[in-house]
Structure 1
Amino acid sequence: MKVTQVIARPNRIAPALAALALAAGLGIAACTNETGEAEVASAAAPGDWPGFGGDSDETHYSPLAEITADNIDQMGLAWSMDLPLGNSVSAPLAVDGVLYVVTGYSIVRAIDAPTGKLLWEYDPEVPEAAGDKLRQGWGMRGIAYGEDRIFVPTHDGRMIALDARDGTVAWTAQTLPKDDASFISGPPRYFDGKVIIGFGGGDVDDIRGSVTTLDAQTGKELWKFYTVPGNPADGFENEAMAMAAKTWAGEWWKYGGGGTVWNAMTYDRSTNSIILGVGNGAPWNHKIRSQGQGDNLFLSSIVALDADTGTYKWHYQTNPGESWDYNASMDIQLADIEIGGKKRQVLMTAPKNGFFYVIDRVTGKLISAEPFVKVSWASRIDLETGRPVENPDARYNDGKTFTMWPGPVGAHTWLPMAFNPKTRLVYIPAIEMATSYNDVGIERANWKRRPGAAVDGGANPDFVVKDAGPPNGTSSLIAWDPVAQKKVWSVPTPGIWNGGVLTTAGSLVFQGRIDGTFDAYAADTGKKVWSFAAQAPVTAPPISYSAGGRQYVTVLTGMGTSGAAFGALLPVSIDYRSQARRVLTFAIGGKATLPVSASEPLTPMADPDYAANKALEDKGYLTYALHCAVCHGVDAIASGHAPDLRNSGLPLDAAAFASVVRDGVLVPNGMPRFHEFGEEELAGLRQYLRAKAAAWRAEGAAKR
């Protein structure tokens, strides 16, 4: 672990004085009943952004209003900072004039927000510690602040508390076992003297989901809540697990069950609840996991726990008997809004399955749910039972293939939506993309995971459906009325992967795009009012904060995380090595300029000695699909998260290829080691990659 201190940290501003100054000088809009605006809970200083979603309500809303549609034409780049190779799609934090940015494998930088000067840097040296966990190599999506500490999770399962002033380590806690494929990529949440973290891995291993809550001062574990029941012979941890076990069948515990909490967690201070967004089943196929029986609690559920003890309060399940990698893991936002003439404490979420849900956050009772994109797996959500009315073909029975709208990439992925209490609208980065499913050829009774596979759900999904009909592989920014449950406006965005969203009291909505622009829209109409040429994909969630009495907007550039597999569906070519990874910070009056990006169009590698070998290529294809596509892209077409291997000379040299893939010489760079690969697997991989490059050359080196 390495801490580098660069310059002295600026004097801190007392939060109470900062709040008064901001309220007086920056036009903060109070969200009260008298104004008719929806209310959101808030405990942080209004000029700070201390958590992934801003405050604990997770609305990705800033109450600052210095920047508006009337003066945004005066907003420009205040400063930028170049970043090294690695994931750069995380959400920064901003507290008392200091910006905290996490990139790559949990490398944290503290930056003076007004000037862009680096204050300190911390590197926990994760790739070397992660082992096989590195194979799900997303990097970190966010960090949390509380009690003058920065809470940094790592891919290998550590939670590290850093002193926010100088980056020194206060404590470290190991939250995951080291001998399975569980990993952390999502942000922790700080609340009431505690920090909570979940994890992922249910797609690749026999994993049982849980969350762990630690004391923020000491790192001591306070409580753990499991999201699915374990082996009944071992006894159940609590009444909730005994209740959940009644909804499972067979010997589910041998598969782990899944239910990882890899992203969404929201603290509701009004009810002292921590609300979890629970993930999909492990394996995906309900017929394997639970003999096709039962709802399988608490998969694909929103679960409320007592924040002090972790005791179960209530749950709502979006997809009973989940079987498609659907989950309830997308951001959960809190608001107090008027519905039917009555003020309701609600949570709002737009999970993968394509329905927008409004739920009473006190009782867990469903209030409303309507589709915000094309949906084929269900006709509606029954408001009496809260259950979906499923298409009877959706469970791909009797050898049939079913095309799901939306697919498991989601109608909405982890990139957050935003709620504006002034407009009373939610702004959703939506995806229209289908996936087909069947389980032909899979022996359900004797099914076992293929060791080391990047994704193995006990089904045969086709993520890039050729004949799904239009529109397939599109995205948009949707403004959604959560009370009327209808779309107010939408703006198309390129490809299937769009950026996280920020909205502000200045009645603005900010979102980046994969084609290299960072845009602002009028929150009420969707009219584009400002755009900046970022010279690189902008998919990270933006934030807005105040420093020195001035409002700033910050966003990171670069492509990464789980959109990596779908380069074939992107309308732009994104090069892992040369794309511009930067921190961009904007303010009224900003005059800085960006250096010209060095990114160049990708071309296939030259390979004069290539000779076709279809049998060997087919073997390599299977190895690639199971182990490599998740980072390097379906059909070997990368999207910027990892190198495009059709463009690499490495497959031309057998020894060099083995040193990287099998021996792990690039582990420090984030390339995992596949120690189990023999000469046959390596030869097949090389042949497949050379064949894909040859096909590209034969097409005249067109963009795709």
Structure 2
Amino acid sequence: MHHPLPLHDKKKRRHTIMKPPSRIWLSYLCFAGTLIASLVQATEVDNTLLTRDPGGAHWAGYSRSFDEQRYSPLTQINASNVKRLGLAWTLELNNIGNVSTAPLAVDGVIYFAAGLSVVHAVDARTGKLLWRHDPDVAKVAGEKLREAWGIRGLAFWKGKVYAGTQDGRLIALDASNGRLLWSVMTVGKDDQRYITGAPRVFNGKVIIGHGGADFGPVRGYVTAYDAETGKQRWRFHTVPGNPADGFENKAMEMAAQTWTGEWWKHGGGGTVWNAMTYDPEFNRIYLGTGNGAPWNQKIRSPDGGDNLFLCSVVALDADTGEYVWHYQTNPGETWDYNSAMDMVLADLTIEGKPRKVMLHAPKNGFFYVIDRKTGKLISAEKIVKVTWAERIDLATGRPVETPNARYQNGETTIWPSGMGAHNWPPMSFNPDTGLVYIPVRELPGYYNDKGIDFKNWRHESGPHFSTGVNPINNIDPPPDAGTSALLAWDPVQQREVWRMPTPGIFNGGTLTSAGGLVFQGDAAGRFTAHDARNGKVLWSFNLGVGTIAPPITYTAGGKQYVSVLAGWTGLIQALGSLTAQHGWVGREHPRRLLTFALDGKAKLPRSAPPKRPVPLDDPGLALDDTKITQGREIYSDRCVTCHGPAAVAGGYAPDLRASPVALALDALDGVVRQGALLQRGMPQFSEISRGELDALRHYLRARAREDLGNKTATGPGPSVR
């Protein structure tokens, strides 16, 4: 990782004749020189650096510093000269799937994870790969491989890199060579929990949560471990368990009063799958909690209740994990309105008084300003179209919900959808402009629980969403079903300052700087620098593929760089034509790490232009209507999450209408039942029978013929959707 200078002793001893040193002694001198140089050059990443790095040389935390502002004090690249920004180098990531990670940069080395939690270290000046650590997730994840799409971030502390793995491990690596230092399993082997979020480090501890509340009866928790040894220090559950078993603490006893029925049989949810923020001023860790398990409150808590701590910000003592306060954005959540989005710390002047606040834009479409000392709500306003609630009552802090928002009549269409007005791609805050830069989307959500037996409902097996509402996830949404934008928001006045439309409904996380800039990637494959004051586009670069990963900036050798991971990735595959419209096809388009600097002259490697998959037909296959119907059900239960509704892939996993593998039953068997592509992220489904696989093949060929316009007597037309 480091390049030590040779040791030279230029002092001459006048009265002593020195013998030539032995080779062993020379080897020792070289080793000592390397060690000394490493110690001199290595930066101590600890509470001090993560609290305040005024030079901005490093991006050592998920959002650079503890405050999660994603703000850099660097000004070498600024609004006046950003037009000179050019590509310094690119690293092509072959045979890699997910690239949604926010990288880290320490001492001129970039660290990131890609694919199945594979951690990389790269020289920031040259793009040379220094080391790579593969935790072999595909070999051990089992069914957990069906439930997630990679890792969003890493942590760094005193020479160690920390990563969560999809199968639920937390690992610590030597930052100099990638050697595994310790590993702990944070979840149960056969439960539905998995890790995709970034760990956080503080006070010599590393904390991690997990996901899984969409897939089964999961009870959320976070766990803090000793950063040096991996020994567990404390654990905090986010929802109460079975009262008959007793409560872990008074917070769980209090929370249980807000649940009804036998909620613990459904797990409850509340997973901390993404956002956590450490506050050094109050020595607290804030948790952003997720949705209920299942979503539908009529099932898990039939007589209502707030269901703490779902969809909440929860403050804990960072040393002990003891509850301090909470603020719940959606009491009695029933829409998948996570509060698992980033929580940004800032000092603002509000009504003439300085306030230490938290800025929070969860899925539900409101922007919250919260007093982080007390947890009391200061203000909340809509940042997109919101129809589930009229407003947030500032006296109570609770939403004023609209009639039938909870689909009391069995169904409802509301804004925003469960995908959220703001999802996990992080926002940023610039203290110079006083603005927050948020990747937002406008998309409606439809909820229908007609005919569901609430009393006897059970989580069904399989890698599909355990929502407790009727599935509509095999209906292909049109390309114009929603929109997105980069929104600049004034948190003091709670008003929009500017808004720039972005392609489709997915746009990337943001980065802002003292150079007066906002950087963001988008679905069309553009990486753009905006004027932080007014949103004007000052510079843009074609990445060769769409991205939603957040960029970072740092210095190496005194030079400022900007880096971003590009590749079509994440949950985008589940939305069919809504995301397929951008033309990024499976593995035909690149995954890459790109780094920019002023006057960079590197050339981007060629990549395929955007395209749409062309369905394949097998004229010799006589379709069977019964098998088509059965295959459609199998596809809805097992395949839609990755391969898209109505077999229209969103661009991450292959489009099965166009895959030659799906033409032959033996080939399909090898991939689906035998696990031939496990290393590429394709889960194994050994429980599917060969007969069911044949039915799936009939459904896929029916869909292919439908979209090819071949609707002869080989099966139904639009009904196969």
Report the TM-score range of the alignment, normalised by the length of the smaller protein. Answer: over 0.9
**Structure 1 position 617, deviation (Å):** 1.9
1:347-366 Cα offsets, whole Å, 9 max, x none, are 11111100001101110000
**Structure 1 position 15, deviation (Å):** 7.0
SS of 1:199's equivalent in the other structure is: coil
1:550 is aligned to 2:556? no
Q: Given the alignment, which residue of 208, 213, 238 partners 1:202? A: 213
Residue segments in structure 1 that go unaligned for 5+ positions in a row: 24-39
1:254 is aligned to 2:265? yes
1:175 is aligned to 2:186? yes
Give the aligned partner of residue 507 of structure 1. Answer: 516
Give the aligned partner of residue 32 of structure 1. Answer: none
- Structure-1 separation of matches of 2:221 and 2:258: 18
SS of 1:642's equivalent in the other structure is: coil
Check the 8 A contact 2:474/2:646 in 1, yes or no. Answer: no
Give the aligned partner of residue 449 of structure 1. Answer: 459
Q: Given the alignment, which residue of 160, 167, 171 partners 2:171? A: 160
1:391 is aligned to 2:402? yes
Give the aligned partner of residue 632 of structure 1. Answer: 643
Q: Given the alignment, which residue of 72, 77, 94 partners 2:87? A: 77
1:223 is aligned to 2:234? yes
SS of 2:694's equivalent in the other structure is: helix
SS of 2:433's equivalent in the other structure is: coil
Residues 246-645 of structure 1 aligned to structure 2 (within 5 Å):
246-399=257-410, 401-460=411-470, 462=472, 472-570=481-579, 571-598=581-608, 601=611, 602-645=613-656
Amino acid at match of 2:429: F
**Structure 1 position 615, deviation (Å):** 3.1
Distance 1:696 1:146, change over 3 A: same
**Structure 1 position 174, deviation (Å):** 0.9
- Structure-2 separation of matches of 1:630 and 1:370: 33
SS of 2:487's equivalent in the other structure is: strand
1:631-667 Cα offsets, whole Å, 9 max, x none, are 1112212122211111101121112212211222221
Check the 8 A contact 2:60/2:155 in 1, yes or no. Answer: yes
- Structure-2 separation of matches of 1:18 and 1:352: 32
**Structure 1 position 60, deviation (Å):** 1.2
**Structure 1 position 424, deviation (Å):** 0.6
Check the 8 A contact 1:435/1:465 in 2, yes or no. Answer: no
Distance 1:335 1:341, change over 3 A: same
Check the 8 A contact 1:98/1:112 in 2, yes or no. Answer: yes
Check the 8 A contact 1:418/1:503 in 2, yes or no. Answer: yes
SS of 2:563's equivalent in the other structure is: strand
SS of 2:587's equivalent in the other structure is: coil
- Structure-2 separation of matches of 1:140 and 1:506: 30
SS of 1:443's equivalent in the other structure is: coil
1:257-286 Cα offsets, whole Å, 9 max, x none, are 000000000000110000000000000010
1:446-491 Cα offsets, whole Å, 9 max, x none, are 00011114212111254699999x9741101000111111111011
SS of 1:695's equivalent in the other structure is: helix
**Structure 1 position 101, deviation (Å):** 1.6
- Structure-2 separation of matches of 1:13 and 1:561: 40
- Structure-2 separation of matches of 1:12 and 1:689: 59
SS of 1:336's equivalent in the other structure is: strand
1:51 is aligned to 2:35? no
- Structure-1 separation of matches of 2:512 and 2:151: 23
- Structure-2 separation of matches of 1:262 and 1:371: 24
Distance 1:18 1:168, change over 3 A: closer
Give the aligned partner of residue 680 of structure 2. Answer: 669
Check the 8 A contact 1:7/1:119 in 2, yes or no. Answer: no
Distance 1:190 1:500, change over 3 A: same
Amino acid at match of 2:401: E
**Structure 1 position 158, deviation (Å):** 0.7
- Structure-1 separation of matches of 2:209 and 2:425: 17
- Structure-2 separation of matches of 1:284 and 1:328: 14
Distance 1:339 1:465, change over 3 A: farther
**Structure 1 position 689, deviation (Å):** 1.5
- Structure-1 separation of matches of 2:621 and 2:263: 48
Check the 8 A contact 2:474/2:640 in 1, yes or no. Answer: no
Bigger mean CA deviation after superposition, 628-637 or 166-175: 628-637
Distance 1:222 1:593, change over 3 A: same
**Structure 1 position 698, deviation (Å):** 1.7
**Structure 1 position 606, deviation (Å):** 3.7
Give the aligned partner of residue 26 of structure 1. Answer: none
**Structure 1 position 14, deviation (Å):** 4.6
Give the aligned partner of residue 133 of structure 1. Answer: 144
- Structure-2 separation of matches of 1:649 and 1:609: 14
- Structure-2 separation of matches of 1:54 and 1:688: 48
Check the 8 A contact 2:148/2:194 in 1, yes or no. Answer: no
Determine which structure has more spread, i.e. the larger CA radius of gyration: 2
**Structure 1 position 317, deviation (Å):** 0.3
- Structure-1 separation of matches of 2:110 and 2:681: 25
Superposition CA RMSD, Å: 2.4
Amino acid at match of 2:527: F
SS of 1:500's equivalent in the other structure is: strand
Give the aligned partner of residue 234 of structure 1. Answer: 245
Distance 1:17 1:282, change over 3 A: closer
Check the 8 A contact 1:204/1:453 in 2, yes or no. Answer: yes
- Structure-1 separation of matches of 2:687 and 2:575: 26
- Structure-2 separation of matches of 1:236 and 1:280: 21
SS of 2:253's equivalent in the other structure is: helix
Check the 8 A contact 1:137/1:631 in 2, yes or no. Answer: no
Distance 1:315 1:350, change over 3 A: same
**Structure 1 position 553, deviation (Å):** 0.2
SS of 1:656's equivalent in the other structure is: helix
Check the 8 A contact 1:6/1:118 in 2, yes or no. Answer: no
Bigger mean CA deviation after superposition, 209-218 or 85-94: 85-94
Amino acid at match of 2:425: L
Amino acid at match of 2:440: A
Check the 8 A contact 2:45/2:158 in 1, yes or no. Answer: no
SS of 1:646's equivalent in the other structure is: coil
Amino acid at match of 1:261: V
**Structure 1 position 603, deviation (Å):** 1.6
Residues 10-25 of structure 1 aligned to structure 2 (within 5 Å):
14=41
SS of 2:507's equivalent in the other structure is: coil
Distance 1:18 1:165, change over 3 A: closer
Give the aligned partner of residue 211 of structure 1. Answer: 222
Give the aligned partner of residue 105 of structure 2. Answer: 94
SS of 1:89's equivalent in the other structure is: coil
Distance 1:17 1:186, change over 3 A: closer
Check the 8 A contact 1:80/1:584 in 2, yes or no. Answer: yes
- Structure-2 separation of matches of 1:562 and 1:11: 41
